[in-house]
Amino acid sequence: MSCSSPDGAAAAPASSGVVRLLNTAGGPVLCLAGAVDAALVEAFLRRYGREPARVRAIDAGSVTSLSPPAMDLVLDHLDLAERAGRPVPVRRSPTVDRLLTEERGPAGHRGR
């Protein structure tokens, strides 16, 4: 999994982060990279809708920071997968690992 574009380009220069759904041979992957702020999440929601997508994985391995709306986006996708009985793997940066552990606890269950 990789959040870069197929040609290897990074996120657009106007932004320091990226959030998108990538269609892969194995199914859609929610990709987040860099500093994912509220504006990026809002643009994602305008493009893909407010309902979480059925994804096969979440790639947040190169995230440097997550805004509260970005964290909610990740948690909403994880919750949907868990309710459907198909938890998805999450590739985590140290930042994401810390935030998910704080939010969900060591057992991985959402604490809200």
Judged against a pLDDT cut of 50, whether residue 5 lies above it is answered with: no
Higher pLDDT, 38 or 6: 38
The pLDDT score that the predictor gives to residue 13 is 45
**Distance between start and end Cα atoms, the chain:** 29
The pLDDT score that the predictor gives to residue 19 is 97
Judged against a pLDDT cut of 50, whether residue 6 lies above it is answered with: no
The pLDDT score that the predictor gives to residue 104 is 76
What does the pLDDT look like over 51-99, one tens digit per residue? Answer: 999 999 999 999 999 999 999 999 999 999 999 999 899 999 999 999 9
> What does the alpha-carbon distance between residue 112 and residue 93 come to, in Å, rounded to a whole number?
22
The pLDDT score that the predictor gives to residue 83 is 94
Give residue 11's pLDDT band: very low, low, confident or very high (50, 70, 90): very low
Judged against a pLDDT cut of 90, whether residue 2 lies above it is answered with: no
> What does the alpha-carbon distance between residue 77 and residue 32 come to, in Å, rounded to a whole number?
12
E strands, 1-112, where? 17-24, 27-36, 57-66, 90-92
Check: CB of residue 69 under 8 Å from CB of residue 44.
no
